[in-house]
C-alpha cells in the first residue's frame, strides 16, 4: 500500500521487522527524505526509536515533516547525502544501532515486491522494458533481483530489459557505464532539483550494473528541464509524482529517439514517489519560478503549455468567467 507515499515502504516493512525481531532499540538511516520518512513510520509502529541523518536544506518539506511527525530524532547535517552515509557508517560501528539503508539485505528483499506485483498484474506476461530512476541504486538492484529470480523459477518466460535513468547533475552511474565501461565508479558532487536522487556515490552500483548487463538494459541521463516537463506531463495525466520519479518518462523519450525502445514495445515506468512529497517544486514550476534557479535551462513552448499558474482575482463572477474564457483559449 506504500502508506508513506514512496516505494520505500515495501522494503522498510521487512527490514524494520528484522530490527524488531532482533530487539534493537534504535534504527537509523541516511536519506534524501523518503527512506527516512518510511523508516520513522515503521519504527514508530514497532515501538523503536529512529535516528534520521539528512542533508541540511536539500530535502523537501513533505519528507522532512513526515519524519518529524512520526517521532524520529532528525539530524540535518551540513553536508550532502553522501556525507550523511559516511557519518552513519561510522556510527553503526560504535553504537548498537540497526542500519536501515538499502545496503541492508532485508530492504532489497522487501523491495522486490513491486516487480512481483507488477508481473501478477500483467498476468505474468513481462513487458519489453522496465524503466526506473537511479539514485543510490537499491531499487534497480531489487527489481532486477526479483525478475531474475522469477525467470529462474519459470514464473516468467523472458526478461524485460531494465533501464536506469539519472539526472545529468547526479550521474555517477551513467558516467561509470559510458566512460569506464562499468570498470569503476568515480564519486562526484551531485546537484539536481530532483533531491531524492541527489547522490554522488551510489552504494549499490555494482549490483545495478549486473542487472543492466543481465537484462540488456540501458542507462540514460536527463536534464533538469526534461525532468520538470516530464513531471508536469505525468501530473496532467491525473497521476502526479515527485521530480525524481519523472526521470523515467524523460528517459523513455530519449530511449525512443535513440531507437533502444521501439514504437510497438510495452514499457513500464516505476513511479517512486507521490506528488505531495515535494509541493514546492510543483508550485515553482507552474508559477515559472523554477527556471529562475536554472539559468542554463530555457523553458520551451511545451513547458509553457504545461504551466497552470494559480490566478488571483476578486470574488467576482465576471472575473471567474473571464478566466474560464482565457483557459479555453490556452493550448
Ligand atoms: N525515487 C525516489 C522518489 C527516491 O526517494 C529514490 C531514493 C529513488 C527514486 C532512487 O532509488 O536510491 O534505490 O536508486 N531515495 C533514497 C532515500 C536515496 O533516502 O529516500 P535508489
Beta-strand ranges (E) seen in 239-318 are 267-269
Q: Hey, which of 59, 64, 135 would you mutate to test ligand 1's pocket, going by the most ligand atoms within 8 Å of its Cβ?
A: 135
The whole-number pLDDT of residue 293 equals: 76
Could you tell me if 114 and 270 are in contact, meaning their C-beta atoms sit under 8 angstroms apart?
yes
Reported residue count of the chain is 331
Q: Give the list of residues 6+ apart from residue 328 with CB closer than 8 angstroms, or none.
A: none
How much distance in Å is there from the Cα of 46 to the middle of ligand 1?
A: 23
- For ligand 1, the distance from its centroid to the CA atom of residue 176, given in whole angstroms, is 19
Nearest residue CA, atom 10 of ligand 1? 135
pLDDT digits (tens, 9 = 90+) for 108-125: 999 999 999 999 999 999
245 in ligand 1 pocket by Cβ < 6 Å?
yes
pLDDT of residue 292: 82
Scored b (16 or more CB within 10 A) or e, 223-245 reads bbbbbbbbbbbbbeeeebbbbbb
Mutating to test ligand 1, I would choose from 39, 102, 133 the residue with most ligand atoms within 8 A of its C-beta, which is: 133
Average pLDDT over residues 33-62: 97
pLDDT exceeds cutoff 90 at 297: no
What's the burial of 72, exposed, middle or buried (CB within 10 Å: 0-12/13-18/19+)? buried
Mutate to test the pocket of ligand 1, among 34, 83, 142, 176 (most ligand atoms within 8 A of CB): 34
Read off the pLDDT of each residue in 51-70 and give the average, rounded to a whole number.
Answer: 96
Rounded Cα distance, 130 and 168, in Å = 20
Cβ–ligand 1 distance for 135 under 6 Å, the answer: yes
137 Cα: distance to centroid of ligand 1 (angstroms): 8
Is the CB of 138 within 6 Å of ligand 1?
yes
Q: Is the pLDDT confidence value at 331 over 70?
A: no
- CB neighbour list of residue 315: distance below 8 Å, 6 or more residues apart: none
pLDDT of residue 106: 98
- Measured CA angle at 178 (ends 172, 182), to 5 deg: 75
Burial 159-198 (b: 16+ CB within 10 A, else e): bbbbbbbbbebbbbbbbbbeeeebeebeeeebebbbbbbb
- DSSP string of 102-149? TTSHHHHHHHTHHHHHHHHHTTT---SEEEEE-SSSHHHHHHHHHHHH
SS3 11: helix
pLDDT at 301: 87
Q: Looking at the CA of residue 102, tell me the nearest atom of ligand 1.
A: 13
Find where cell 542533508 sits.
55
CA 60–ligand 1 middle distance (angstroms):
13
Q: What is the pLDDT of residues 227-268, one digit of tens each?
A: 999 999 999 999 999 999 999 999 999 999 999 999 999 999
Q: Under 8 Å CB-to-CB from 139, ≥6 apart: which residues?
A: 7, 102, 111, 132, 133, 270, 272
Out of 155-164, 194-203, 216-225, 293-302, pick the least confident: 293-302
Q: What span, in angstroms and rounded, lies between the C-alpha atoms of 306 and 164?
A: 26
Planar angle of CA 96, 53, 280, nearest 5 degrees: 155
Does the beta carbon of 34 lie inside 6 Å of ligand 1?
A: yes
Amino acid at each position: 500500500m506504500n502508506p508513506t507515499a514512496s516505494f520505500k515502504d515495501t522494503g522498510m516493512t521487512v527490514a524494520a521487522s528484522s530490527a524488531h525481531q532482533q530487539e534493537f532499540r534504535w534504527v537509523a538511516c541516511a536519506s534524501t527524505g523518503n527512506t527516512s520518512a518510511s523508516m520513522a513510520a515503521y519504527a514508530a509502529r514497532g515501538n523503536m526509536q529512529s535516528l534520521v541523518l539528512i542533508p541540511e536544506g536539500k530535502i523537501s518539506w513533505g519528507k522532512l515533516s513526515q519524519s518529524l511527525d512520526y517521532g524520529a530524532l532528525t539530524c540535518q547535517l551540513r553536508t550532502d547525502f553522501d556525507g550523511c552515509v559516511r557519518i552513519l557508517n561510522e556510527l553503526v560501528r560504535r553504537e548498537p544501532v540497526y542500519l536501515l539503508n538499502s545496503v541492508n539485505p532485508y530492504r532489497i528483499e522487501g523491495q522486490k515486491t513491486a516487480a512481483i506485483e507488477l508481473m501478477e498484474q500483467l498476468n505474468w506476461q513481462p513487458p519489453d522494458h522496465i524503466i526506473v530512476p537511479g539514485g543510490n541504486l537499491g531499487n534497480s538492484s531489487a527489481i532486477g533481483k526479483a525478475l531474475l529470480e522469477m525467470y529462474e523459477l519459470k514464473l516468467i518466460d523472458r526478461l524485460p530489459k531494465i533501464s536506469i535513468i539519472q539526472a545529468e547533475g547526479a550521474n555517477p552511474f551513467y558516467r561509470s557505464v559510458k566512460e569506464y565501461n562499468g570498470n569503476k565508479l568515480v564519486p562526484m558532487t551531485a546537484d539536481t532539483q530532483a533531491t531524492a536522487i541527489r547522490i554522488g556515490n551510489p552504494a549499490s552500483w555494482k549490483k545495478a550494473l549486473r542487472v543492466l548487463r543481465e537484462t540488456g538494459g540501458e542507462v540514460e541521463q536527463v536534464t533538469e528541464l526534461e525532468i520538470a516537463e516530464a513531471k508536469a506531463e505525468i501530473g496532467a495525466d491525473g497521476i502526479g509524482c515527485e521530480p525524481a520519479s519523472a526521470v523515467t518518462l524523460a528517459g523513455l523519450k530519449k530511449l525512443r529517439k535513440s531507437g533502444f525502445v521501439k514504437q510497438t514495445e510495452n514499457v513500464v515506468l516505476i513511479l517512486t514517489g507521490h506528488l505531495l512529497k515535494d509541493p514546492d517544486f510543483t508550485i515553482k514550476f507552474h508559477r515559472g519560478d523554477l527556471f529562475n534557479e536554472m539559468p542554463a535551462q530555457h523553458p520551451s513552448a511545451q513547458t509553457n503549455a504545461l504551466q497552470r499558474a494559480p490566478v488571483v482575482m476578486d470574488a467576482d463572477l465576471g472575473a471567474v468567467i473571464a478566466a474560464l474564457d482565457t483557459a479555453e483559449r490556452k493550448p
